[in-house]
Structure 1
Amino acid sequence: MAAAAASFAALPCLLLLLLLPSFGAASNVTYDHRSLIIDGRRRLVISTSIHYPRSVPEMWPKLVAEAKDGGADCIETYVFWNGHEIAPGQYYFEDRFDLVRFVKVVRDAGLLLILRIGPFVAAEWNFGGVPVWLHYVPGTVFRTNNEPFKSHMQSFTTYIVNMMKKEQLFASQGGNIILAQIENEYGGYLEQYYGTAGKAYAMWAASMALAQNTGVPWIMCQQPDAPDPVINTCNSFYCDNFQPNSPTKPKFWTENWPGWFQTFGESNPHRPPEDVAFAVARFFEKGGSVQNYYVYHGGTNFGRTTGGPFITTSYDYDAPIDEYGLRRFPKWAHLKELHKSIKLCEHTLLCGNTSFVSLGPKQEADIYTDQSGGCVAFLANIDSDKDKVVTFRNRQYDLPAWSVSILPDCKNVVFNTAKVQSQTSMVVMVPESLQAAKPDRWSIFRETTGIWGKNNFIRNGFVDHINTTKDTTDYLWYTTSFSVDGSYSSKGTQAVLNIDSKGHGVHAFLNNELIGSAYGNGSQSSFTVGLPINLRTGKNDLALLSMTVGLQNAGPSYEWIGAGFTNVSISGLKNGVVDLSSNNWTYKIGLEGEYYSLFKPDQRSNKRWVPQSEPPKNQPLTWYKVSKC
């Protein structure tokens, strides 16, 4: 290790002794086995994810400022393909999707930027960021060495790169983009389905050729055998044991998860600040040089952007900056103190020799020393239950369980990851009555059960929900009629409507009455339900409202996972089970209220809204609107 340290280039280390201003922009970014080299200097980078479409542009400057005040050098974001290319060759970069504006907000705040172009991102984002329309381009198979997919992928990647170059935003042009990424988390489980890494790289070949013209390094997340010159990176709760795929590449962590996303019906995820700080300190202790929080501000999945199924619109993620742009204490402040402590060690960490000392069965020290006399030590207690007192260089140190102490001079502890000294506060949402005072504040609109307006088509049997709606709506009506006479009388038990569905949910109506609802659960969204029903002699009308709750966002062949019904039958009848699956079904895409855009602010005066003195209860298929002065 000493021999390797002696070969370090002198220039990148000596210049680190200078007191540097905020980054903001750069002119040259390269790397060696230890770190990024920005404008001739080895740099240790604290990065924070803020996804521009998950907040509104008016929030961006404050969010970026809060990250900077928290000790960040850099902002990281995905680029969301399906938000930008709304149809083949038709691009959108307005409002929340104004990518150039966001990058410039980051630049003007004096911060660098990591651009993860994707175009597949996962990110709990609808369809993993890939446009739904691409699924219907003949012959397309996502994320493979497939010509239609590669062609559209290359076109979009080229468009984004050229846009950034036109605005002079890459570091090689004096901008602030220091790293870029193509694809995301391909390695491991996808390769077993799609073939070897070599076949995967054929998918990226054209895009990688484009990457070389940007003048900045490129990264590949979770790809242990990423081809040169791409740098593979770690995505995990802990990355202290992560090793680069080459001894000539540095150790990067693109996704340190400070919390987790929330799904409907599940508890609100929480990760203590002590554990987040422990993971970060261990990463730098073990030679890491670029660390990114995924996410530092999660924000909101607006509109139809949330993936899933069953992921909530809130993407708070228990992040240091909450969904509303407020600092989350003590997490934000605890990590700020951690960043400040690590920055005190930057020169010696990146330019020094390293040694390891065991201090006990689960206690250890990593020590860095440089030629100028600098000395940095990380004292770690990886015992998750027991506090320990250790002796290091003839001094005793108290190490709480599961903690790291940082000693920028190898003597004095400036920070311990388990000792939270910042204030604790919580934002409490207070319920407020919306029914008092004026009786005309409430208005409603009642949906038609089943087919409203003109049907879309009639078909014997079932169609796939997603292939039919193409993600233009969450809703698809399946309706049919059947007759009951004396021969169908019950045999002493109540008739039951049986529904098998690929997901995600259903509201079932018999003769315009709601008879029940059901939904899937988690990633396995399929379900089976039996609903007791009362039939009438003669014609019976059955209307099933199939619902999706966010499309799949990751996994092998995820674009082929469908939704909608696979079997519908009635049991408990005298003559046995009546199978309705092959019936003549009439289909209607979407809801009537969606068609009239009643949810939009400019429709608040639409005459279809009916004023109510009080909002009706237990009324299915009802839209509610309230105005509060």
Structure 2
Amino acid sequence: VMFNNMHYNLPPWSISILPDCRNVVFNTAKVGVQTLKMEMLPSNAELLSWETYSEDLSSLDDSSTFTSFGLLEQINVTRDASDYLWYKTSVDIGSSESFLRGGEWPTLIVQSTGHALHVFINGQLSGSAFGTRENRRFTFTGKVNLQAGRNTIALLSVAVGLPNVGGHFETWNTGILGPVALHGLDQGKWDLSWAKWTYQVGLKGEIMNVVSPDSISSADWMQGSLIAQKQQPLTWHKVYFNAPDGDEPLALDMGSMGKGQVWINGQSIGRYWTAYATGNCGDCSYSGTFRPPKCQLGCGQPTQRWYHVPRSWLKPTQNLLVLFEELGGDPTRISLVKRSVTGVCADVAEYHPMIKNWHIESYGKAEEFRRPKVHLRCGPGQSISSIKFASFGTPLGTCGSFQQGACHASTSYSILEKKCIRRQRCSVTISNSNFGQDPCPNVLKRLTVEAVCSPTTSEAIQPNWRR
């Protein structure tokens, strides 16, 4: 691009900073900081002897219910004391209804303003529906198995937090505002929107505070095999575990679960929802205008799988893990993992913008031009055990899949191994003299490195940060 009668190289989707309107000191596409290669590795914490407590769907807690004619807005009722609000009513079905004699089941239609809805007919899950980030409003439409006599319709409306972005979000409604109607009866449409509804804020497990170590015994927990319960909706699960060794960050692998919340020793680590990302994760091209669908990652994978567990919340032994699962899942496959650094990558050009060089030019100091460096650093208790890739020239690819380009200095590996092996951190100056000679004159070169980090052996680490 041309700016102030000078030509500048501005990579796509990037911003350059010129403090004096002349010298580039930083470009967002040329960040020289190393990239960490992370892996979630098993810990020695065993999550065994799971116990379960299922919400009683046949009735609500009479001590915490109230009735009203018509449908009420959720947040005005719950006051954010719980994500959950029960809407419950009953309908009487005559024995002469046609669908009871081999006809098609009636259809229940429920319109909700978000965020999720679970429909129960006579204590059995009939179906669920969910809103989206773009549109919180949705409609549940499903066949319902009604019987002759009195039938209970219980709707569990679920909020996923409070609105916090968008125009006038404080005025947005949440919950079931209707209409709610039965279709397919002999009388035609039966509108239940202004029927008598019974409301209960929260779940029975919340009311009993089963997530707290002090009141965990208030529920009737069931021990034994989870095979029969793993797809049971609205179920609480608990297990005790000991804190794993080491000081690496910890996370729960929740990939086997559906939707719910998790608590560690009575403290919430947040909601989980194993939704799967859609989109096209093909080759990434930075050409053209930026659009959200460009350069996507993780298509077909859970939008979030691991949930951070602060080590400061853990005791040496007998830590209580409680989770509430709305949809059904297999808690026996949950594991506590360590987030470990297994490698580091760096990719820096030989004329990488540096603010120190701008100070030299701006203030006229007679200092030598500072050449950029590649800095590598493994995690605590680790050292660089090998150099997986090194190339001073025109390498290609990204961290984990680097390849040599048309230009490559043959001394790249030996220089990096000499400077970095068996050290926790090291630095290498990017210059032709440092690699013996210029491997390709008149070509802008870069130094690209991928190093492997391993637990430090008994051999002392040699400091080399300023070489």
Greater fraction helix: 1
- Structure with bigger gyration radius: 2
TM-score, structure 1 as length reference: 0.34
The structure, 1 or 2, with the larger RCO (C-alpha pairs under 8 Å, 6+ apart) is: 2
TM-score, structure 2 as length reference: 0.45
